[in-house]
Amino acid sequence: MTDASLVDGFLADLRPAVTWVDDHIEIIDQTKLPAELAIAELRSVEEVVDVIYRLAVRGAPSIGSCGAFGMVVGLDERQPADRPAALAVLDDLVETIGNARPTAVNLSWAVSRVRDAAGKGSDVAAIRSLVLNEAQLITSEDRDACTQMGLFGMKELAGINNIMTHCNTGRLATAGWGTALGVIYAKAASGEPVKVYASETRPLLQGARLTTWELQDAGIDVTLMPDGSSATAMAEGRVEAVIVGADRIAANGDTANKIGTFTHAVNAHYAGIPFYVAAPLSTFDTSIATGAEIEIELRPNHEMTSWRSEPTAPQDISVWNPAFDVTPGKLITAIITEVGVLKPPFEESISDAFKKGDVS
Amino acid sequence: MTDASLVDGFLADLRPAVTWVDDHIEIIDQTKLPAELAIAELRSVEEVVDVIYRLAVRGAPSIGSCGAFGMVVGLDERQPADRPAALAVLDDLVETIGNARPTAVNLSWAVSRVRDAAGKGSDVAAIRSLVLNEAQLITSEDRDACTQMGLFGMKELAGINNIMTHCNTGRLATAGWGTALGVIYAKAASGEPVKVYASETRPLLQGARLTTWELQDAGIDVTLMPDGSSATAMAEGRVEAVIVGADRIAANGDTANKIGTFTHAVNAHYAGIPFYVAAPLSTFDTSIATGAEIEIELRPNHEMTSWRSEPTAPQDISVWNPAFDVTPGKLITAIITEVGVLKPPFEESISDAFKKGDVS
């Protein structure tokens, strides 16, 4: 079986997280999972920003894809009269959509890339065509990047069958089979035995709601565990490695990812098991030297004081609810990208990956 | 202000978690907090076992106290005809109540202690009187032990004002102002500035529901944080120390406590901040050399797949839901007891504490 047929066969019957349909975006509303597989249609910029902010669409690459298609939605909605007006609309959308969530670099990267592509258009129709084309390209490139990450990761993690992951990094989070989960899907698609421990990922429970759902749906052995149990899972030998995605990676390998990641990395370090990050090059922000420069989004209190209709804490309590944390590069065994597996020292391997475009 | 007036003044207006009233037990039903301060009356062994199993009463010392009073309830319920029948009932209750939860040593310790005291009774009435007296003694001793732990801990943590804690170890968990939270209450009652970070404590959210509630109720500055954020809270300098309670401590200091504790301890070790355990001598089980011998209770799946009426995960997913973990003694800076602060090597300091009954 070829690599391409492996992933095509795997994804054939599965609905993507973000799809462009005729004149609008369709997303799986991830806030409704696992109870309901609900599709939301997005026909305005307000709706695009809202679903990104509410995490109805989430995962750095999926947000990038949704934001890129949101540029088409915005252009159609605002109906600029001529080329300068169209470019001004796009400039405005780069800000409006790009700022819906601050930490994931893919979102601002995707909308800026779409804006840059639009510059070559001579009139409004040409600009719209370039914008749509670029959004589709971003999406298909992400799908291909996922395929490659899965295949590189499968080789890197050869012989490791019991794997812990955090948050959700699969087909709900990307245009393909995922980043960290892509590695797991690739192993499963190749017939390797694989057992996954998914940490809940408080407060929004992306691990409990989404990772369990999509792995179970794909027939992969998955067990849900509390976030705080990682030290024990490792000490008992239940997990042999950790693999996570990323929202932004600095030039030295410091990695912003869902809150809880840093804690799992410290525990893996203590237990002496490998800790992998899987992320496409679009997630790297080589303009920042270290993770200290990464802005961490603080989320609202209600995410921690209620679960849907049920209170989980006193309603008026003080809450510290950072959406992300920054795992120091020194705790990361390797970063799996679509151009190969980057090893420490990351300053060099990341720099090489961007210079050569190929480190495999 | 004397030590005694400090704690008496603090507890004067606050309802205890477990109270003996005439002929029955009254407990604060902790599953209803923080939405409602509901009192449950226990008049049968079945009810006693049920509230312990459901965690309506929880915290190792509170469970011990409730179990001890449960021996009186059981004796009244079964109405033995003579001394041998009464002692046989108590033997049976030691098993029935003592096994309601396996990890906390206080429960089996308390019911066994009550049973032993009953042996001196010459008839059923005398036995009942001895049983009730012993249960009240266990409760008042726990209250006094909490006072002492608070005062010893206050000295040990002098100058440390930003403190993280896990689960709930205060006046809901004990007959006094608590073990780990007792140290915080003592600092606050003495007028020291203290800011507490309470981790949520999935899956049953004792930190989110109970610790925030009781600290806020006592006017202490408390902020709720996700369990997975401890590495970041430490790296940012938000917390200077961690203090937790315990459910069972082996002869070498290995400490069973609520799941998540070990992870916080590993993070504290990595961050280079002190990690304290506060527990009375009744929590120590010197019959076991190390934590490897501690049985870890596995709890039902539904605790992780739903929060009350709201699903949190696919309902049929595999779940690993250990109630406790075991933190290696080597990660613990000191263990604060009612007879003084035990320091490593714990084999020696714990042995000395039991030999001398005083290590202060």
Q: Within this chain, do residues B123 and B152 fall inside the same structural domain, yes or no?
A: no
Mutant choice from A317, A321, A324 vs B, greatest count of B C-beta within 10 A: A317
Q: Within this chain, do residues A42 and A156 fall inside the same structural domain, yes or no?
A: no
Q: Within this chain, do residues B222 and B350 fall inside the same structural domain, yes or no?
A: yes
Tell me the chain A residues in contact with residue B235 when contact means C-beta distances shorter than 8 Å: 262
Pinpoint the alpha helices (H) of chain A. Answer: 3-11, 45-53, 60-78, 83-98, 105-118, 124-156, 180-189, 206, 212-217, 230-235, 261-271, 302-305, 346-356
Between B104 and A79, the more confident residue is: A79
The Cα–Cα gap between B132 and A126 comes to 88
The ipTM, to two decimals, is 0.90
Q: Within this chain, do residues B105 and B154 fall inside the same structural domain, yes or no?
A: no
* Catalytic residue of the set B247, B254, B285, B325: B247
Which range is least confidently modeled, A225-239, B30-44, B332-346? B30-44
Number of structural domains chain B divides into: 2
Q: What's the pLDDT at B85?
A: 98
pLDDT (average), residues B312-339: 97
The Cα–Cα gap between B293 and B278 comes to 21
Flag residues of chain A having pLDDT under 50: 1, 359-360
Q: Within this chain, do residues A170 and A193 fall inside the same structural domain, yes or no?
A: yes
Tell me the chain B residues in contact with residue A269 when contact means C-beta distances shorter than 8 Å: 270
- Inter-chain touch B318–A221, beta carbons under 8 Å: yes
Mutant choice from B224, B257, B299 vs A, greatest count of A C-beta within 10 A: B224
Q: How many CA atoms lie within 13 A of A283 on its CB side?
A: 30
Tell me the chain B residues in contact with residue A213 when contact means C-beta distances shorter than 8 Å: 313-314
Q: Within this chain, do residues B283 and B318 fall inside the same structural domain, yes or no?
A: yes
Last residue of a domain, one of A143, A158, A192: A143
Tell me the chain A residues in contact with residue B222 when contact means C-beta distances shorter than 8 Å: 317-318
- Inter-chain touch A238–B320, beta carbons under 8 Å: yes
Nearest to A231 by CA among A269, A182, A180, A281: A269
Read off the pTM.
Answer: 0.91
Q: Within this chain, do residues B310 and B173 fall inside the same structural domain, yes or no?
A: yes
Which residue in A216, A226, A262 is closest to B304 by CB distance? Answer: A226
- Inter-chain touch B260–A307, beta carbons under 8 Å: no
Q: Give per-residue pLDDT as tens, B57-77.
A: 998 889 999 999 999 999 999
DSSP assignment, residue A298? B
The Cα–Cα gap between A200 and A182 comes to 19
- Inter-chain touch B228–A259, beta carbons under 8 Å: yes
Q: Within this chain, do residues B79 and B209 fall inside the same structural domain, yes or no?
A: no
Nearest to A145 by CA among A27, A29, A62, A207: A62
Among chain B residues, the shortest Cα distance to A331 is held by B270
Q: Within this chain, do residues A187 and A166 fall inside the same structural domain, yes or no?
A: yes
Supply the range of the domain harboring residue A113: 4-143
How near does any CA of chain B get to the CA of A308, in Å? 7
Among chain A residues, the shortest Cα distance to B322 is held by A229
Confidence band for B208, pLDDT divided at 50, 70 and 90: very high
Last residue of a domain, one of B92, B118, B143: B143
Which range is least confidently modeled, B32-36, B177-181, B349-353? B32-36
Last residue of a domain, one of B97, B112, B143: B143
- Inter-chain touch A232–B314, beta carbons under 8 Å: no
Q: What's the pLDDT at B358?
A: 53
Mutant choice from B216, B232, B326 vs A, greatest count of A C-beta within 10 A: B232
Handedness of CA A135, A139, A144, A148 (dihedral sign): positive
pLDDT (average), residues B285-302: 94
Which residue in B202, B230, B320 is closest to A263 by CB distance? Answer: B230
The Cα–Cα gap between B276 and B263 comes to 14
Q: Give per-residue pLDDT as tens, B212-240.
A: 999 998 999 999 999 999 999 999 999 99
**Total residues belonging to chain A:** 360
- Inter-chain touch B205–A312, beta carbons under 8 Å: yes
Neighbours of A294 (CB within 10 A): 21
Tell me the chain A residues in contact with residue B237 when contact means C-beta distances shorter than 8 Å: none
* Residue B340 Ramachandran class (φ > 0 left, ψ -120 to 50 alpha, else beta): left
Is the separation of the CB atoms in A299 and B210 below 8 Å? no
Confidence band for B8, pLDDT divided at 50, 70 and 90: confident
The Cα–Cα gap between A145 and A134 comes to 16
Which range is least confidently modeled, A168-182, B4-18, B163-177? B4-18
Q: What's the pLDDT at A282?
A: 86
Strand (E) positions, chain B? 18-21, 24-28, 39-42, 162-165, 195-199, 221-225, 241-244, 248-249, 255-258, 275-278, 306-307, 310-311, 318-319, 324-327, 334-337, 340-342
- Inter-chain touch B314–A212, beta carbons under 8 Å: yes
Confidence band for B9, pLDDT divided at 50, 70 and 90: confident
Q: Within this chain, do residues B196 and B91 fall inside the same structural domain, yes or no?
A: no
CATH number at residue A214: 3.40.50.10470
Q: Give per-residue pLDDT as tens, A232-271.
A: 999 999 999 999 999 999 999 999 999 999 999 999 999 9
Tell me the chain B residues in contact with residue A222 when contact means C-beta distances shorter than 8 Å: 317-318
- Inter-chain touch A305–B223, beta carbons under 8 Å: no
Tell me the chain A residues in contact with residue B231 when contact means C-beta distances shorter than 8 Å: 262-263, 265-266, 325
Q: Within this chain, do residues B152 and B290 fall inside the same structural domain, yes or no?
A: yes
Neighbours of B253 (CB within 10 A): 26
Note if B247 is an active site residue.
Answer: yes
Tell me the chain B residues in contact with residue A264 when contact means C-beta distances shorter than 8 Å: 228
Supply B340's token pair.
Answer: 């003084």
Q: What's the pLDDT at A1?
A: 47
Residue B11 in this model has a pLDDT that exceeds 90 = no
Q: What's the pLDDT at B78?
A: 97
The Cα–Cα gap between A168 and A177 comes to 11
Q: What's the pLDDT at A358?
A: 53
Q: What's the pLDDT at A92?
A: 98
How near does any CA of chain B get to the CA of A207, in Å? 9
The Cα–Cα gap between B314 and B294 comes to 31
- Inter-chain touch A226–B238, beta carbons under 8 Å: no
CA distances to B79, B125, B188 from B130, in Å: 16, 9, 37
Q: Within this chain, do residues B90 and B197 fall inside the same structural domain, yes or no?
A: no
- Inter-chain touch A224–B305, beta carbons under 8 Å: yes
Residue B359 in this model has a pLDDT that exceeds 70 = no
- Inter-chain touch A269–B270, beta carbons under 8 Å: yes
How near does any CA of chain B get to the CA of A194, in Å? 15
* Catalytic residue of the set A8, A50, A227, A247: A247
